[in-house]
Amino acid sequence: MNYKIVSDSSSNILAMEDSRFESVPMKIIAEKEYVDTASLDLAGMVEDLKNHKGKSGSSCPNVAEWMDAFGDADVVFGTTISRNLSGSYNAAHQAAQLYMEKHPGRLALILDSMSAGPQQAMIIDKLRELISQKLDIETIKEKILEYRNHTHILFCLESLTNLARNGRVSPAVAKLSGVLGIRVVGDAKNGQITPVHKPRGAKKATMALVEMLKERGFFDGALLRVAHCFGEEPALALRDAVLKEFPNTRFVLEKTTALCSFYAEAGGLMIGFEGGFNTNNQVTEF
């Protein structure tokens, strides 16, 4: 059976050696349009947006773009950014229905990650692992939902300007970020960004993140996947702090691509990890 995994580019994974994966690009729209592909000048985009004073926003793939990405697969597993942040899930879901109507006998399943970035990337990697084990479809669905509900995401952001401009956080909270070295540290509830702490300085921000990891059931030997927007130094500081307490942590460091860079902004971190049952973002269907 011919399987394929398809994700919008909010996962920060734009390509894999495995041809059974495809990324559908999100877009950033300001004075010009930035398409979230590997060929984009990401540093140039971040600098342009830093100096941009007008309106800016993001747009998701449309139904036709999702359909094209499904290709000729017998079974498609799709995953998207949280439906509470974007219309990507709805477009993918519509594409799946049309795909199955057009190709009777084929199956397209769409999972709302209720997240983005490294947590979404973890779901993709787990899907690849389960498919490689040649499990039946119902078992894959059961196991990926179980895995999704034991993964989490945290944020550590130096600026919330773009989030506030697009209604993701309140302007009052956004004004605090960057003032006198204040970071905003938070998680996701029902797929939406929720500030939790407002530490002053990088060291206190790192300490807050480690405590939040513990509170959410992070354990020695678990996976910690950190995506940064031109913020490798704080990402490595977090790695070192976590390894002191959890020396067997499986650590992955990666860069954000366009969509996550737009919202995380320069210096921002997105942290995906395995932990206890996620009561904030339980997903019950695929």
Of 192-196, 220-224, 251-255, 262-266, the one with minimum mean pLDDT is 192-196
The reported pLDDT for the residue numbered 285 is: 77
Question: What domains lie within the chain, and their CATH numbers?
Answer: 3-148 (3.40.50.10170), 151-274 (3.30.1180.10)
The reported pLDDT for the residue numbered 182 is: 87
From residue 159, alpha-carbon distances to 34, 125, 131, 162 in Å are 20, 30, 39, 8
Q: What is the DSSP string of 109-139?
A: EEEE-SS-HHHHHHHHHHHHHHHHTT--HHH
Q: How far apart are CA 128 and CA 135, in angstroms?
A: 11
Q: Is the pTM of this model over 0.85?
A: yes
List all residues 6 or more positions away from 28 whose beta carbon is below 8 Å from its beta carbon: 34, 36, 45, 49, 56, 57, 58, 258, 259, 262
**CA angle, residues 187, 270, 127, in degrees to nearest 5:** 95
The reported pLDDT for the residue numbered 191 is: 76
The reported pLDDT for the residue numbered 168 is: 64
Q: What is the pLDDT of residues 91-127, one digit of tens each?
A: 999 999 999 999 999 999 999 999 999 999 999 999 9
The reported pLDDT for the residue numbered 172 is: 63
Q: Is 248 exposed, middle or buried (0-12, 13-18, 19+ CB in 10 A)?
A: exposed
The reported pLDDT for the residue numbered 207 is: 98
Q: Which helix (H) or strand (E) holds 3?
A: strand 3-8
Per-residue pLDDT at 223 exceeds 80? yes
Q: What is the pLDDT of residues 244-281, one digit of tens each?
A: 999 999 999 999 999 999 999 999 999 999 999 998 87
Per-residue pLDDT at 194 exceeds 90? no
Q: How far apart are CA 33 and CA 59, in angstroms?
A: 10
Per-residue pLDDT at 177 exceeds 70? no
Q: How far apart are CA 148 and CA 154, in angstroms?
A: 15
Task: Taking residues 156-177, report their average pLDDT.
Answer: 74
Q: What is the pLDDT of residues 2-48, one digit of tens each?
A: 999 999 999 999 999 877 999 999 999 999 999 999 999 999 999 99
Q: What is the 8-class DSSP label of residue 272?
A: E
